[in-house]
Amino acid sequence: MLRGILGQSQSALSQSVLGLLGVALLSTAAACGDGNDSSGKAGDDGTEKAFEREWEWLEPDGAFCRDGSRAPLAVSVNPDSKDLMIFLEGGGACYDKATCLGSFSTVGHQFLLMGGLFDETVPNNPVKGWNMVYVPYCTGDSHAGTNPSGDVPGGPSGQKFVGYTNMGVFLKTIVPMFPNLERVLLTGISAGGFGASANAVQVMEAFPKDVKGILIDDSGPAMANKYLSSCLQDRWRTLWGLDDSMLKDCGDACPNKDDFMVDFSKHLAATYSDRKSGIIESSEDGIIRGFFGVGQNNCTASITDLVPAAAFTEGLLDFRSQLSAYPNFYTYYPNSMQHTWLSSPSLYSYSIGDVALVDWVTAIINDQPTSNVGP
């Protein structure tokens, strides 16, 4: 196990969670060697040894949850790998009284889901043996905020919506730890999917130019204001401080401050045209339909007022159409209500026609030919 990286101390909370984490990981994440240099190395007898994944919690100074407590991250190093996955955790969002009640404001729930990309017992796991960074979610801003003192209408005040700011702090720790990388996969689920896109520019620019960045957003869709109301986009922008995060990164490519989600995705696809990226989103995702549903009726609806399934699917197809000019960006739309895939066993069992989800993800990561799939 890594010990005392950068001299960081750990709080009692992160130490107790680390104990639980170790039990979960060591029972699921020891992979058998398959000839991949990043998953094992030869032992004294010449046979390949399995890479045994272990994790260390770090608490870089200056990173906070929305309640003001310290925000940590977890790091797992394989010195034989030249690849890194940065995975952003999901967990709701905080933008009104009801949504804030369901959004994490502190850390203590990490690694509850250990399937999908974290299951290294699966032979065709595309990130098996990679270096990994796990970013817990406790800022309520889809990892996108820069507002250290946000007052939620009808909800809590003085909230630290600093997910994007935290990522900048984390990168100062992460980048020097991995000096010989060839690829970085930035991904996440739900709020972490939104956050992967929102942080793509600062993450990709933090690493040397010869490191290829790859973006896969799981269940954090962008839509035009016909489907994702302008009032809700504006609420996120002002409450979370998006003018100083993703909109600052987007610049003139995002001229409409209350209809910026699709423009931002186009900006990413155009800026990083030399690499593949993509989004996975169920055509009837029941969670995101509630997340977007708050914006209905001029933002007077509640999270239980789901966007109609047909309208949500139409919004996804409109997004695909608008991104069709970018041959490096792809979509995979399961005809399902399931929310999130990359940390689920469904990653390895789900297919649309003859295109398995895991094969589509692998093609994105390995820069292989792929296509838009579903619904």
b (16+ CB within 10 A) / e for 59-72: bbeebbbbbebbbb
Digit-coded pLDDT (tens) for 303-360: 889 999 999 999 999 999 999 999 999 999 999 999 999 999 999 999 999 999 999 9
**pLDDT value at 49 more than 80:** no
- pTM (two decimals): 0.87
Digit-coded pLDDT (tens) for 232-275: 999 999 999 999 999 999 999 999 999 999 999 999 999 999 99
26-35, 184-193, 288-297: lowest mean pLDDT where? 26-35
**pLDDT value at 173 more than 50:** yes
Average pLDDT, integer, range 145-154: 95
Residue 10: band (very low, low, confident or very high) from pLDDT cuts 50, 70, 90: very low
Domains and CATH numbers, the chain: 5-365 (3.40.50.1820)
- pLDDT given for residue 253 in this prediction: 97
**Please, what is the average pLDDT of the chain?**
87
Residue 104: band (very low, low, confident or very high) from pLDDT cuts 50, 70, 90: confident
